[in-house]
């Protein structure tokens, strides 16, 4: 019995240190831990769609929509108009920061038309065309998901 218990504890500890998987989309790459699996992008416009069924969490990476090849600072300035036009409930006014040596802006919101999911949205100036990184998860807001996004963002590289 003791041998089984030691084996189970060892496996649990090892699963906490599972190697990160590196993903590429557009002109950026990043790493994730967990059970993220690549899924079809369908009609989302995304270049990469990852889903972790156990955590019920989705990561989408997509080029910024046509006509939005603008600096992150301008996106932040336009945020009040964007969230009203799209019927989103915004949490804050966005945060400008440097990501992989480039300007980025992060927003959190819920779509009022479908309040069952939360979104953490990052607009990143990448070489060529800007990209967006979205992390979607079930409501309510979850600080652990914000920490997951911070960890993911700490691994982003552009090329």
pLDDT in tens, the chain (159 residues): 666 655 545 544 444 555 679 999 988 999 998 899 999 998 888 999 999 999 999 999 999 877 678 999 999 999 999 999 999 999 999 999 999 999 999 999 999 999 999 999 999 998 888 999 999 999 999 999 999 999 999 999 998
Contacts 24+ apart (CB under 8 A), 127-130: 127/27, 127/158, 127/159, 128/26, 128/27, 129/26, 129/63, 129/64, 129/69, 130/63, 130/64, 130/68, 130/69, 130/70, 130/72
> What pTM value is reported for the model?
0.84
Instruction: Give pLDDT, residue 94.
Output: 93
Q: Which domains does the chain have, with CATH numbers?
A: 20-158 (3.40.1000.10)
């Amino acid at each position: 019995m003791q041998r089984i218990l030691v084996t189970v504890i060892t496996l649990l500890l090892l699963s906490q240190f599972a190697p990160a998987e590196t993903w590429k989309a557009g002109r950026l790459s990043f790493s994730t831990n967990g059970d993220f699996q690549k899924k079809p992008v369908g009609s989302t416009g995304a270049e990469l769609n990852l889903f972790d069924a156990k955590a019920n969490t989705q990561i989408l990476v997509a080029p910024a929509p046509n006509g939005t090849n603008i600096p992150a600072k301008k996106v932040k300035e336009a945020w009040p108009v964007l969230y009203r036009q799209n019927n989103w409930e915004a949490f804050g006014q966005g945060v400008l920061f440097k990501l992989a040596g480039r300007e980025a802006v992060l927003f959190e919101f819920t779509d009022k038309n479908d309040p069952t999911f939360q979104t953490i949205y990052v607009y990143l100036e990448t070489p060529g065309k800007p990209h967006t990184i979205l992390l979607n998860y079930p409501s309510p807001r979850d600080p652990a998901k914000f920490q997951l996004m911070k960890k993911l963002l700490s691994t982003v590289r552009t090329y």
